[in-house]
Amino acid sequence: MTRRHVLLLVAVTLMWGCNWPAMKFSLRELPPLTFRALTMTGGVMLMAAWFALRGTSLALPRAQITRVAALALPNIIGWHLASIIGLTQLAAGRAVILAFTMPVWTVLLGALLFGQRLTRRAGIASLCALTAVALLALEELGSLAGRPAGVLWLQGAALSWAVGTLMLKRVTVTLSTEALTVWMMVIGSVFFCVAALAVEPLPSPRAWSAATWVSLVWGVVINFGISQLLWFALARELPAQASAFSLMAVPAVGVLSSALAFGEAPRAGDWIALLFIAAAIAAATGVGLRSLRSDNRGQ
Protein backbone atom coordinates (compact mmCIF):
# COMPACT_ATOMS: atom_id res chain seq x y z
CA MET A 1 0.00 0.00 0.00
CA THR A 2 1.14 3.54 -0.72
CA ARG A 3 1.14 6.30 1.89
CA ARG A 4 -2.01 7.68 0.24
CA HIS A 5 -3.78 4.32 0.68
CA VAL A 6 -2.81 4.18 4.34
CA LEU A 7 -4.04 7.72 5.01
CA LEU A 8 -7.36 7.10 3.24
CA LEU A 9 -7.86 3.79 5.04
CA VAL A 10 -7.21 5.45 8.40
CA ALA A 11 -9.62 8.26 7.48
CA VAL A 12 -12.43 5.85 6.58
CA THR A 13 -11.86 3.84 9.76
CA LEU A 14 -12.03 6.98 11.90
CA MET A 15 -15.17 8.19 10.11
CA TRP A 16 -17.03 4.91 10.55
CA GLY A 17 -15.92 4.46 14.16
CA CYS A 18 -16.81 8.02 15.18
CA ASN A 19 -20.17 7.73 13.45
CA TRP A 20 -21.59 5.66 16.33
CA PRO A 21 -21.30 8.37 19.01
CA ALA A 22 -22.35 10.94 16.39
CA MET A 23 -25.58 8.98 15.83
CA LYS A 24 -26.07 8.76 19.59
CA PHE A 25 -25.96 12.56 19.82
CA SER A 26 -28.80 12.87 17.31
CA LEU A 27 -30.90 10.22 19.03
CA ARG A 28 -31.10 12.33 22.18
CA GLU A 29 -33.46 14.69 20.33
CA LEU A 30 -34.60 12.76 17.24
CA PRO A 31 -36.54 9.49 16.98
CA PRO A 32 -34.55 6.77 15.20
CA LEU A 33 -36.56 6.43 11.98
CA THR A 34 -36.60 10.19 11.45
CA PHE A 35 -32.85 10.31 11.95
CA ARG A 36 -32.32 7.57 9.37
CA ALA A 37 -34.71 9.21 6.92
CA LEU A 38 -32.96 12.59 7.13
CA THR A 39 -29.37 11.37 6.93
CA MET A 40 -29.93 8.70 4.28
CA THR A 41 -31.96 11.01 2.04
CA GLY A 42 -29.39 13.77 2.33
CA GLY A 43 -26.54 11.33 1.79
CA VAL A 44 -27.98 9.75 -1.34
CA MET A 45 -28.67 13.19 -2.82
CA LEU A 46 -25.06 14.17 -2.15
CA MET A 47 -23.70 10.98 -3.70
CA ALA A 48 -25.95 11.23 -6.74
CA ALA A 49 -24.87 14.83 -7.33
CA TRP A 50 -21.19 13.86 -7.07
CA PHE A 51 -21.50 10.97 -9.51
CA ALA A 52 -23.51 13.13 -11.91
CA LEU A 53 -20.75 15.76 -11.90
CA ARG A 54 -18.22 13.05 -12.72
CA GLY A 55 -20.37 11.72 -15.54
CA THR A 56 -21.02 8.36 -13.88
CA SER A 57 -24.12 6.70 -15.26
CA LEU A 58 -26.76 5.98 -12.63
CA ALA A 59 -29.37 4.61 -15.03
CA LEU A 60 -31.57 1.85 -13.60
CA PRO A 61 -32.98 -0.54 -16.25
CA ARG A 62 -36.58 -1.52 -15.55
CA ALA A 63 -35.66 -5.20 -15.63
CA GLN A 64 -33.23 -4.66 -12.72
CA ILE A 65 -35.63 -2.88 -10.32
CA THR A 66 -36.82 -6.04 -8.55
CA ARG A 67 -33.28 -7.32 -8.03
CA VAL A 68 -32.05 -3.98 -6.70
CA ALA A 69 -35.00 -3.82 -4.30
CA ALA A 70 -34.24 -7.35 -3.09
CA LEU A 71 -30.64 -6.35 -2.41
CA ALA A 72 -31.69 -3.13 -0.67
CA LEU A 73 -33.86 -5.02 1.82
CA PRO A 74 -31.02 -6.64 3.85
CA ASN A 75 -28.11 -4.36 2.86
CA ILE A 76 -29.80 -1.03 3.57
CA ILE A 77 -33.19 -1.38 5.24
CA GLY A 78 -32.47 -4.34 7.53
CA TRP A 79 -29.01 -3.20 8.61
CA HIS A 80 -29.86 0.46 9.20
CA LEU A 81 -33.21 -0.25 10.87
CA ALA A 82 -31.98 -2.84 13.36
CA SER A 83 -28.70 -1.04 14.12
CA ILE A 84 -30.34 2.32 14.88
CA ILE A 85 -32.97 0.74 17.14
CA GLY A 86 -30.27 -1.23 18.93
CA LEU A 87 -28.25 1.94 19.39
CA THR A 88 -31.18 3.61 21.17
CA GLN A 89 -30.99 0.90 23.83
CA LEU A 90 -27.26 0.45 24.38
CA ALA A 91 -24.16 2.55 24.89
CA ALA A 92 -22.58 3.51 21.57
CA GLY A 93 -19.34 1.68 22.30
CA ARG A 94 -21.11 -1.53 23.21
CA ALA A 95 -23.39 -1.24 20.17
CA VAL A 96 -20.53 -1.01 17.70
CA ILE A 97 -18.84 -4.09 19.20
CA LEU A 98 -22.03 -6.12 18.76
CA ALA A 99 -22.73 -4.80 15.26
CA PHE A 100 -19.31 -5.80 13.97
CA THR A 101 -19.94 -9.50 14.40
CA MET A 102 -21.22 -9.22 10.81
CA PRO A 103 -18.17 -10.76 9.01
CA VAL A 104 -18.45 -13.85 11.19
CA TRP A 105 -22.17 -14.27 10.48
CA THR A 106 -21.35 -13.96 6.78
CA VAL A 107 -19.05 -16.97 7.01
CA LEU A 108 -21.51 -19.02 9.06
CA LEU A 109 -24.53 -18.24 6.87
CA GLY A 110 -22.49 -18.97 3.76
CA ALA A 111 -21.84 -22.45 5.11
CA LEU A 112 -25.42 -22.98 6.30
CA LEU A 113 -27.30 -21.59 3.29
CA PHE A 114 -24.92 -22.06 0.37
CA GLY A 115 -22.83 -25.06 1.33
CA GLN A 116 -19.58 -23.16 1.67
CA ARG A 117 -16.89 -25.15 3.43
CA LEU A 118 -16.70 -24.33 7.15
CA THR A 119 -12.99 -24.27 7.88
CA ARG A 120 -11.21 -24.45 11.21
CA ARG A 121 -10.54 -20.71 10.90
CA ALA A 122 -14.27 -20.09 10.55
CA GLY A 123 -14.91 -22.19 13.64
CA ILE A 124 -12.42 -20.12 15.63
CA ALA A 125 -14.04 -16.92 14.36
CA SER A 126 -17.47 -18.15 15.36
CA LEU A 127 -16.34 -19.13 18.83
CA CYS A 128 -14.68 -15.75 19.39
CA ALA A 129 -17.71 -13.79 18.14
CA LEU A 130 -20.21 -15.82 20.17
CA THR A 131 -18.03 -15.39 23.27
CA ALA A 132 -18.06 -11.62 22.80
CA VAL A 133 -21.82 -11.52 22.30
CA ALA A 134 -22.40 -13.77 25.33
CA LEU A 135 -20.21 -11.57 27.54
CA LEU A 136 -22.10 -8.42 26.67
CA ALA A 137 -25.51 -10.10 26.77
CA LEU A 138 -24.81 -11.47 30.27
CA GLU A 139 -23.76 -8.03 31.46
CA GLU A 140 -26.99 -6.51 30.10
CA LEU A 141 -29.06 -9.26 31.71
CA GLY A 142 -27.25 -8.89 35.01
CA SER A 143 -27.60 -5.11 35.20
CA LEU A 144 -30.67 -3.49 36.78
CA ALA A 145 -30.66 -0.96 33.94
CA GLY A 146 -29.66 -3.51 31.32
CA ARG A 147 -31.30 -3.63 27.89
CA PRO A 148 -30.80 -7.17 26.56
CA ALA A 149 -33.20 -6.44 23.69
CA GLY A 150 -30.56 -4.09 22.33
CA VAL A 151 -28.19 -7.05 21.99
CA LEU A 152 -30.80 -8.87 19.90
CA TRP A 153 -31.38 -5.83 17.66
CA LEU A 154 -27.66 -5.45 16.98
CA GLN A 155 -27.30 -9.13 16.19
CA GLY A 156 -30.28 -8.80 13.85
CA ALA A 157 -28.45 -5.94 12.14
CA ALA A 158 -25.29 -8.03 11.79
CA LEU A 159 -27.26 -10.96 10.38
CA SER A 160 -29.01 -8.69 7.89
CA TRP A 161 -25.66 -7.29 6.76
CA ALA A 162 -24.34 -10.84 6.36
CA VAL A 163 -27.35 -11.94 4.29
CA GLY A 164 -26.96 -8.84 2.12
CA THR A 165 -23.28 -9.53 1.55
CA LEU A 166 -24.00 -13.09 0.43
CA MET A 167 -26.80 -11.90 -1.85
CA LEU A 168 -24.54 -9.30 -3.47
CA LYS A 169 -22.28 -12.13 -4.60
CA ARG A 170 -25.14 -14.22 -6.00
CA VAL A 171 -27.76 -11.83 -7.41
CA THR A 172 -26.75 -10.74 -10.90
CA VAL A 173 -27.18 -7.04 -11.66
CA THR A 174 -25.79 -5.10 -14.61
CA LEU A 175 -25.39 -1.81 -12.71
CA SER A 176 -22.06 -0.37 -11.68
CA THR A 177 -21.19 -0.44 -7.96
CA GLU A 178 -21.88 3.30 -7.76
CA ALA A 179 -25.31 3.04 -9.40
CA LEU A 180 -26.29 0.00 -7.34
CA THR A 181 -25.33 1.75 -4.10
CA VAL A 182 -27.23 4.92 -4.98
CA TRP A 183 -30.41 3.08 -5.96
CA MET A 184 -30.33 0.82 -2.90
CA MET A 185 -30.02 3.95 -0.76
CA VAL A 186 -32.89 5.60 -2.67
CA ILE A 187 -35.10 2.60 -1.83
CA GLY A 188 -33.91 2.73 1.77
CA SER A 189 -34.56 6.46 2.13
CA VAL A 190 -38.09 6.04 0.75
CA PHE A 191 -38.74 3.27 3.28
CA PHE A 192 -37.45 5.31 6.23
CA CYS A 193 -39.31 8.46 5.17
CA VAL A 194 -42.61 6.57 4.93
CA ALA A 195 -42.00 4.66 8.16
CA ALA A 196 -41.02 7.81 10.08
CA LEU A 197 -44.10 9.68 8.90
CA ALA A 198 -46.29 6.71 9.84
CA VAL A 199 -45.10 6.04 13.39
CA GLU A 200 -43.12 9.06 14.62
CA PRO A 201 -44.10 12.70 15.25
CA LEU A 202 -43.08 15.32 12.70
CA PRO A 203 -39.62 16.73 13.49
CA SER A 204 -39.27 20.25 14.86
CA PRO A 205 -35.91 21.57 13.63
CA ARG A 206 -36.21 24.80 15.65
CA ALA A 207 -35.97 22.75 18.84
CA TRP A 208 -32.79 20.94 17.84
CA SER A 209 -29.57 21.79 19.62
CA ALA A 210 -26.34 22.70 17.86
CA ALA A 211 -24.95 19.24 18.69
CA THR A 212 -27.87 17.59 16.91
CA TRP A 213 -27.36 19.73 13.81
CA VAL A 214 -23.64 18.89 13.77
CA SER A 215 -24.34 15.16 14.10
CA LEU A 216 -26.92 15.32 11.30
CA VAL A 217 -24.44 17.08 9.01
CA TRP A 218 -21.89 14.43 9.96
CA GLY A 219 -24.33 11.67 9.03
CA VAL A 220 -25.11 13.20 5.64
CA VAL A 221 -21.71 14.50 4.57
CA ILE A 222 -19.25 12.21 6.33
CA ASN A 223 -20.99 8.87 6.89
CA PHE A 224 -23.20 8.63 3.79
CA GLY A 225 -21.09 10.93 1.63
CA ILE A 226 -17.32 11.22 1.93
CA SER A 227 -16.61 7.88 3.62
CA GLN A 228 -18.60 5.99 0.97
CA LEU A 229 -16.78 7.74 -1.87
CA LEU A 230 -13.40 7.03 -0.28
CA TRP A 231 -14.38 3.40 0.25
CA PHE A 232 -15.25 3.01 -3.43
CA ALA A 233 -11.76 4.23 -4.38
CA LEU A 234 -10.03 1.98 -1.85
CA ALA A 235 -12.09 -1.09 -2.77
CA ARG A 236 -10.89 -0.81 -6.38
CA GLU A 237 -7.22 -0.41 -5.50
CA LEU A 238 -6.56 -2.48 -2.36
CA PRO A 239 -6.52 -6.21 -1.63
CA ALA A 240 -9.34 -7.58 0.51
CA GLN A 241 -7.01 -8.23 3.45
CA ALA A 242 -6.09 -4.56 3.73
CA SER A 243 -9.77 -3.56 3.72
CA ALA A 244 -10.45 -6.10 6.45
CA PHE A 245 -7.89 -4.44 8.72
CA SER A 246 -10.06 -1.32 8.55
CA LEU A 247 -13.11 -3.40 9.50
CA MET A 248 -11.27 -4.75 12.53
CA ALA A 249 -10.33 -1.27 13.74
CA VAL A 250 -13.80 0.33 13.55
CA PRO A 251 -15.12 -1.18 16.84
CA ALA A 252 -12.04 0.05 18.71
CA VAL A 253 -12.48 3.57 17.31
CA GLY A 254 -16.17 3.42 18.20
CA VAL A 255 -15.45 2.44 21.82
CA LEU A 256 -12.78 5.11 22.29
CA SER A 257 -14.70 7.91 20.58
CA SER A 258 -17.83 7.06 22.59
CA ALA A 259 -15.80 7.25 25.78
CA LEU A 260 -14.55 10.71 24.81
CA ALA A 261 -17.94 11.97 23.63
CA PHE A 262 -20.18 10.66 26.41
CA GLY A 263 -17.81 9.67 29.18
CA GLU A 264 -18.82 6.05 28.60
CA ALA A 265 -16.12 4.34 30.62
CA PRO A 266 -15.75 0.92 28.95
CA ARG A 267 -16.03 -1.93 31.42
CA ALA A 268 -13.64 -4.84 31.55
CA GLY A 269 -16.23 -6.92 29.68
CA ASP A 270 -16.31 -4.37 26.86
CA TRP A 271 -12.55 -4.54 26.37
CA ILE A 272 -12.54 -8.33 26.49
CA ALA A 273 -15.42 -8.49 24.00
CA LEU A 274 -13.61 -6.03 21.74
CA LEU A 275 -10.54 -8.27 21.66
CA PHE A 276 -12.68 -11.29 20.86
CA ILE A 277 -14.40 -9.41 17.99
CA ALA A 278 -11.05 -8.34 16.53
CA ALA A 279 -9.85 -11.94 16.71
CA ALA A 280 -13.10 -13.16 15.13
CA ILE A 281 -12.87 -10.73 12.20
CA ALA A 282 -9.22 -11.61 11.68
CA ALA A 283 -10.03 -15.32 11.58
CA ALA A 284 -13.17 -14.95 9.45
CA THR A 285 -11.48 -12.78 6.81
CA GLY A 286 -8.14 -14.57 6.86
CA VAL A 287 -6.29 -11.40 7.82
CA GLY A 288 -2.77 -11.74 9.04
CA LEU A 289 0.52 -9.95 8.69
CA ARG A 290 1.88 -12.75 6.53
CA SER A 291 -1.04 -12.58 4.08
CA LEU A 292 -0.83 -8.78 3.94
CA ARG A 293 2.90 -8.88 3.18
CA SER A 294 2.23 -11.46 0.48
CA ASP A 295 -0.39 -9.23 -1.16
CA ASN A 296 1.93 -6.24 -1.05
CA ARG A 297 4.75 -8.19 -2.69
CA GLY A 298 2.41 -9.11 -5.51
CA GLN A 299 1.47 -5.52 -6.30
Overall residue count recorded for the chain in this entry: 299
CB-CB contact of 23 with 168 (8 Å): no
| CA-to-CA dists, residue 271 to 6, 24, 94, 141, angstroms | 26, 20, 10, 18
Mean pLDDT of 272-292: 68
* Average of per-residue pLDDT values in the chain: 83
CB-CB contact of 98 with 89 (8 Å): no
162: phi then psi, degrees, rounded to nearest 5 = -65, -45
Q: Is the pLDDT of residue 179 over 70?
A: yes
- Of the listed ranges 90-99, 104-113, 251-260, 284-293, the least confidently predicted one is 284-293
Q: Is the pLDDT of residue 180 over 70?
A: yes
Long-range contacts, 261-270 (Cβ 8 Å, 24+): 261/21, 261/24, 261/25, 261/92, 262/21, 262/24, 262/91, 262/92, 264/91, 264/92, 264/93, 266/93, 267/139, 269/135, 269/136, 269/139, 270/93, 270/94, 270/97, 270/136
| CA-to-CA dists, residue 112 to 17, 103, 106, 283, angstroms | 30, 14, 10, 18
pLDDT bracket for residue 117 (50, 70, 90): confident
pLDDT of the residue at 245: 57
Q: Is the pLDDT of residue 267 over 70?
A: yes
Q: Is the pLDDT of residue 182 over 50?
A: yes
| SS3 state at 265 | coil
Q: Is the pLDDT of residue 296 over 60?
A: no
Residue boundaries of the structural domains of the chain? 16-202+209-297
pLDDT of the residue at 134: 84
pLDDT tens, 140-162? 676 655 678 888 999 999 999 98
